[in-house]
């Protein structure tokens, strides 16, 4: 069976890249031919806005700042190619992508099935920004009347409600999802959203990265053989701040260990593009393999801490959505691993190793869901 995976663009997002790699790998292990749909990146502004954007830039250059770049998209494209060179090398080597400008390029005869997920594909602002399409197309509305199988695997709304959707969105998405052969979500809260708001039965499954063994990831590390980081506490913060800096210092002092960063902040434009080159995916993975402890605010860093059996603390990332953290940690009986900014902390208690719940049953259920939905 030829299958397309509809997810968010991969670019330099370690978790996004690895969830696409994992889902593709699982489907290929079942004997399917798989392509991951991707948009060209960086995403350009809507074409109808460009004349106004250029006019504003010209005025700014003439009246305020001679350094203002008029053709900023060209500069961003050049910078992004440099910044993403290491993550793109992994994508080129391991992920079978089909790069398109629009979902309208896909034809009914291209695929036997389309799998939506994983990651926050059903989060309206993300889908709309990356794919430039209404949220109903994340529910495959554009495939209406096509003779294909449709399913979601570990799709995430990112939040525990549909407050980002308007009434028309909910109605459109509810109609589109009725044609799905199976619906699975990454968070337990997603089941309630599907059943209560979209009137479609859904089940909870593991993030696709957790369907592969630790050994599968270690083979990726061995093939690249990246250098070992100088430190024992892996710090991976999507949104660094003073509170997280203080937590890092407290944990270093409690454990008597040195911390290290596993990535760079590519959005820090005070640095040159050369200084913002993102680390290789294999280097990021090796950070978990080598670490004795992990500090993070990232969902997938929690996932890989669990996969590699590392104790960790996650600082709640309310801006990016809390439902996914809460669902993941409750699944593995690790609710006490999450803290919020401003909490009074017992560092000694938080740094103790914990036994996690056995995921084997949920892993079996997750793979069984894919097999049945693809029929």
Q: What is the pLDDT of residues 161-173, one digit of tens each?
A: 999 999 999 999 9
Compute the distance between CA of residue 136 and CA of residue 129 in angstroms, rounded to an integer: 14
pLDDT at 201: 98
What residues contact residue 193 under an 8 Å CB cut-off, 6+ apart?
157, 160, 161, 162, 185
pLDDT at 308: 95
pLDDT at 320: 77
Compute the distance between CA of residue 136 and CA of residue 328 in angstroms, rounded to an integer: 26
Domain ranges of the chain: 2-41+84-206+362-374, 47-76, 214-358
Q: Which residues pair with 37 in a beta bridge?
A: 6, 98
pLDDT at 265: 83
pLDDT at 182: 99
Across 120-146, average pLDDT? 97
Nearest to 117 by CA among 366, 283, 368, 372: 366
Mean residue pLDDT of the chain comes to 91
Across the beta sheet with 203-204, the strand order is 97-100, 33-39, 2-6, 113-116, 149-155, 182-185, 203-204
- CATH architecture, range 214-358: 3-Layer(aba) Sandwich (3.40)
Neighbours of 290 (CB within 10 A): 17
DSSP track, 265-305 = -TT-TTS-GGGGPPPPHHHHHHHHHH-SEEEES-HHHHHHH
Compute the distance between CA of residue 263 and CA of residue 287 in angstroms, rounded to an integer: 10
pLDDT at 186: 96
Between the CA of residue 182 and those of 158, 320, 373, what are the distances in Å? Answer: 20, 27, 5
Across 103-122, average pLDDT? 97
pLDDT at 91: 98
DSSP track, 156-206 = --SSSS-TTS-HHHHHHHHHHHTT-SEEEESSHHHHHIIIIIS----EE--
Across 138-160, average pLDDT? 97
Q: Which of 227-231, 247-251, 264-268 has the lowest mean pLDDT?
A: 264-268
The model's pLDDT over 292-349, given as tens digits with 9 standing for 90+, comes to 999 999 999 999 999 999 999 999 877 777 888 999 999 998 998 999 887 777 777 7
Q: What's the chain's length in residues?
A: 375
Can you name the CATH fold of 2-41+84-206+362-374? Rossmann fold (3.40.50)
Q: Is the pLDDT of residue 19 over 60?
A: yes
Across 186-198, average pLDDT? 97
pLDDT band at 85 (very low <50, low <70, confident <90, very high): very high
Across 95-122, average pLDDT? 96
Compute the distance between CA of residue 239 and CA of residue 246 in angstroms, rounded to an integer: 14
Give the helix/strand (H/E) hosting 338. Answer: strand 338-339
Most confident of 10-14, 93-97, 101-105, 323-327: 93-97
Q: Is the pLDDT of residue 153 over 60?
A: yes
pLDDT at 344: 72
Share of the chain above pLDDT 70, in %: 90
The model's pLDDT over 52-75, given as tens digits with 9 standing for 90+, comes to 665 766 666 566 665 656 656 677
Q: Is the pLDDT of residue 49 over 60?
A: no
pTM for the model: 0.91
Share of the chain above pLDDT 90, in %: 72
pLDDT at 346: 76
């Amino acid at each position: 069976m030829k299958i397309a995976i509809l997810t968010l663009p991969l670019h330099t997002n370690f978790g996004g890249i690895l969830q696409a790699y994992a889902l593709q790998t699982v489907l290929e292990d079942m004997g399917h031919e798989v392509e991951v749909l991707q948009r060209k990146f960086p995403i350009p502004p809507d074409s109808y806005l460009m004349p106004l954007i250029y006019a504003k830039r010209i005025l700014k250059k003439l009246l305020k700042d001679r350094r203002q770049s008029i053709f900023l998209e060209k500069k961003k494209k050049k910078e992004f190619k440099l910044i993403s060179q290491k993550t793109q090398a992994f994508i080129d080597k391991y992920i079978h992508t089909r790069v398109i400008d629009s979902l309208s390029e896909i034809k009914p005869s291209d695929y036997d099935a389309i799998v939506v997920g994983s990651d926050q594909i059903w989060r309206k602002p993300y889908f709309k920004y990356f794919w430039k399409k209404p949220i109903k197309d994340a529910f495959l509305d554009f495939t209406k009347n096509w003779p294909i199988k449709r399913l979601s695997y570990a799709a995430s709304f990112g939040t525990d409600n549909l407050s980002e959707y308007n009434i028309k969105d909910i109605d459109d998405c509810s109609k589109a999802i009725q044609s799905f052969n199976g619906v699975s979500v990454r968070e337990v809260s997603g089941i309630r959203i599907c059943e209560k708001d979209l009137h479609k039965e859904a089940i909870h499954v593991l993030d696709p990265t957790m369907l592969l063994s630790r050994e599968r990831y270690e083979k990726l590390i061995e093939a690249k053989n990246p250098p070992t980081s100088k430190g024992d506490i892996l710090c991976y913060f999507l949104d660094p701040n003073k509170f997280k800096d203080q937590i890092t210092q407290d944990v270093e002092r409690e454990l008597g260990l040195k911390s290290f960063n596993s990535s760079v902040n590519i959005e820090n434009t005070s640095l040159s593009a050369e200084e913002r080159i993102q680390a290789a995916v294999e280097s990021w993975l090796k950070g978990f393999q080598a670490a004795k402890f992990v500090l993070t605010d990232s969902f997938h860093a929690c996932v890989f801490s669990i996969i590699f059996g590392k104790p960790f603390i996650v600082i709640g990332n309310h801006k990016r959505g809390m439902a996914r953290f809460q669902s993941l940690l409750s699944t593995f009986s690790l609710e006490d691993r999450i803290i919020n900014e401003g909490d009074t902390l017992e560092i000694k208690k938080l740094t103790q190793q914990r036994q996690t719940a056995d995921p084997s049953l949920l892993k079996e259920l997750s793979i069984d869901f894919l097999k049945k939905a693809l029929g």
